[in-house]
Structure 1
Amino acid sequence: MLEFMDYVQAAFHAQSRWNRDNSYASLTTTAHHLLDFPIPHGLRLHVSSLSSPNFATSYTLGSQGVVDGSLSFLYTSLGLSIPSRSSAVHLGNLVQGYRHLTALRQPEVSRLNEVLRDGEKAERKDALLYGRLYLPTSTLEALYLRRISPARLLRLACVSDGTLPNGGSILAVLQNDFGKYSTEYLYSTDSALFGVRGLYNFGHDPRFPNPRSASRAPAHPWDHQGGRLSAGAEAYFSPLNKSGGISTGLRFTTLPTHTGFPYTMTLTLNPLMGNLSSTYAVKAGPNLAFCSRFDFNVYSYESDVMIGMELWQRQQPAADVAWATALLRPDWKRVEANANGVLKARVDNHGKVGLLWECRVKELLLSIGAGFDLKKTERMLGSVGMEVSYSS
């Protein structure tokens, strides 16, 4: 489940009209949410508040081994009109599951981001500033987001920790989203790492929004199948370590115009390491999604397989919750806002199992999870934990 500050940051991206899915870094987001969900460790309590549309605070207290916690503060120049009470936040905005991608759009300045300067309209360059102090280690992390233009976002992430080389590191990322394609340029002070990423979307070009202009762009067969094919790559190099890497990937996902079951397929390749990974995720019903991932190394011939699922529990309009009926309902595209909870599960070929139940109980949000190792007969139960969240 998203922490409150991550929820606010997602709202900043959405309200400033930034498409987080049009990036090479998010190519395998759907499979990551369904298979790599974190399992809580010990007991952790989150208390958060959106005291104004521009300012938020959050406090965390944990008891894993020793008492630890953190203090978080967030400010944004863009007033956020979102529900903040834990009893009012839609559970689907907090639980990361199957990711439905929408049609591409041309970068534009929304009316909310327009200001008047000398009687003329001008775009607002909204910003977000976030800081978090971890106790008792005194580790400090900070994040700065700046909407430089409708098609450009600057991201600065900093960490200050005495255990790190040079006492910390800074990561700068410049993201460009032109709808049809996107690029990213990054630099990290850790090993002086340079990197570049890119993603290209085949088919419809949002830069030609009207039919007359669209006639200049050749029609693509995927435009008629309710899906989108995307291809991307990344490369990075560190002159200090004299090391680098490259990777490339493909993704095909269905769009809202698709008449069948929504599904997403990805294929990624790291030629230097010889790693090949393929994923397939399908939304089998309004409350059920499955995902599988196959990893293979062409040098060592080692392989890994993992499968996972998520099952939503929703409140029916005229009756109590009926799980079996929800699974077999034919109108699987219907969006229901009354979500009570979601069950996530995964298992791999090494016998490791993960279970996670996330739900709302009156004014509280709960995340309860456990990990198992089926090959350890004496101690199958691994990590167990629960997180309790409250926000106002």
Structure 2
Amino acid sequence: MLEFMDYVQAAFHAQSRWNRDNSYASLTITAHHLLDFPIPQGIRLHISSLSSSNFASSYTLGSQGVVDGSLSFLYTSLGLRIPSRSSAVHLGNLVQGYRQLTALQQPVVSRPTGTVRDGKDEERKDALLYGRLYLPTSTLEALYLRRISPARLLRIACVSDSALPNGGSILAVLQNDFGKYSTEYLYSTDSALLGMRGLYNFGYDPRFPDIYTSGRPPSHPWDHQGGRLSAGAEAYFSPLNKSGGISTGLRFTTLPIHTGFPYTMTLTLNPLMGNLSSTYAVKAGPNLAFCSRFDFNVYSYESDVMIGMELWPRQQPSVDVAWATSMLRPDWKRAEPDANGVLKATVDNHGKVGLLWECRVKELLVSLGAGFDLQKRQRMLGNVGVEVSYSS
């Protein structure tokens, strides 16, 4: 389940009209949410508040052998219009599961200033500042987001910790989203790492919408099949360590206009390490999704298989509401009421099992999880934990 500050940051991206899914870094995000969800460890309590539309705070207290915690604060120049009470936030906005991608949009001004320069509306360059102090280690995290233009976002993340080389590190990422394609350039003070990423979407080009509304046939077959094919790659190099790496990947995902079950397929390759990974995720219904991942190394011939699922028990609407809704759209696309909770489960070929139940209990949000290792007969139970969150 998303922490409150991550929920606020997601709202900043949404209200500033930044598409987080149009990036090579999010190529396998659906499989990651369904298979690599974190399992709570120990007991942890989160108390958060959105005291105004521009300011949020959060406090965490945990116990895992030793008592620890954190203090975090966030400020944004963009007034956020989101529900903040834990009893009012839609559970689907907090639990990361199958992600249905939408049609590409042309980058536009998120908040015009009311003035026009060179024939274009000037944009308020909204920013977000976030800081978090971990106790008792005194580790400090900081984040700065800045919408430089409708198609550009600057992200600077910092960590200060005496246990790290040089006492900490800074990561700067410049993201460009032009709809049809996106690029990212990054630099990290840790080993002077330099990197770049890129993603290209075949088919529909949101920069030239008139081509697709003037009666001309689609230029690619994916335009009329309700799906999108994307290809991307990344490369990074450290001049200090004289080492680097590259990877490339493909993704095909259905869009909301697809008439069948939504599904997403990905294929990624790291040629230097010889790692090949393929995933397939399908939303089998409004309340059920499955995912599988196959990893193979061409050098060692080692392979791993993992499968997972998520189940959303929902409050059943009345007979009249259900009938009226079913007349408007197919069953798997009907308007869904909020869920009672979500159950996630994974298992791999090594006998490792993960279970996670996330739900709302009156005014509280609760996450309860456990990990098992079926190959260890004497000690199958691994990590067990519970997290309780309250926000106002």
Same fold, judged at TM 0.5 (above): yes
Map of 1:315 onto structure 2: 315
1:54 aligned partner: 54
Letter of the 2:178 counterpart:
F
1:117 shift after superposition: 4.8
CA distance in 2, matches of 1:37, 1:212: 39
| C-alpha distance in structure 2 between counterparts of 1:384 and 1:245, whole Å | 36
Hey, what's the Cα distance between the residues in 2 that align with 1:218 and 1:253? 18
Aligned positions of 1:1-392 closer than 5 A: 1-110=1-110, 113-117=111-115, 121-211=121-211, 219-318=219-318, 331-392=331-392
TM-score, length of structure 1 as denominator length: 0.95
TM-aligned CA distance change 1:215 to 1:269, over 3 Å: farther
SS in 2 for 1:229: strand
The SS at the match of 1:314 is coil
What is the CA deviation profile of residues 237-263 of structure 1, one whole-angstrom value per residue up to 9, with x for unaligned ones?
000000000000000000001000000
Quick one: distance in 2 between partners of 1:218 and 1:282?
26
Q: Quick one: which amino acid aligns to residue 3 of structure 1?
A: E
Whole-angstrom CA distance in 2 between matches of 1:366 and 1:307? 24
What CA distance in whole angstroms lies between the structure 2 residues aligned with 1:41 and 1:317?
Answer: 36
Give the 3-state SS of the residue equivalent to 1:376 in structure 2: coil
The answer to whether the 8 A contact 2:48-2:391 is kept is: yes
Return the letter of the residue paired with 1:172.
A
Structure 1 residue 211 displacement after superposition: 4.0
**Shift in CA distance, 266/79, structure 1 to aligned 2, threshold 3 Å:** same
Shift of 1:58: 0.1
Aligned length: 381
Please state how far the C-alpha of 1:24 moved relative to its aligned partner. 0.1
Shift of 1:183: 0.1
8 Å CA contact 1:286–1:335 kept in 2: the answer is no
TM-score by length of 2: 0.95
Which sections of structure 1, spanning at least 5 residues, go unmatched? 320-328
Q: Which amino acid aligns with 2:146?
A: R
Task: Please say which of residues 310-319 and 29-38 is displaced more in the overlay.
Answer: 310-319
Distance 1:226 1:210 in 2: 19
Aligned equivalent of 1:323: none
Letter of the 1:7 partner, please give it. Answer: Y
Q: Which amino acid aligns with 1:349?
A: N
Find the residue that maps to 1:32 and give its secondary structure. helix
Whether the 8 Å contact between 1:203 and 1:221 is mirrored in structure 2 is: yes
Q: CA deviation at 1:214?
A: 6.6
Q: Given the superposition, is the C-alpha separation of residues 253 and 175 from structure 1 closer, same or farther in structure 2, using an over 3 Å criterion?
A: same
Q: C-alpha distance in 1, partners of 2:212/2:346?
A: 49
Aligned-partner Cα distance in 2 for 1:205–1:214: 14
Aligned-residue sequence identity (percent) comes to 87
Return 5+ residue gaps in structure 2 as ranges: 320-328
Seen in structure 2, the aligned counterparts of structure 1 residues 271 and 337 have a Cα distance that, compared at 3 Å, is same
CA–CA distance in structure 1, aligned partners of residues 121 and 176 of structure 2: 23
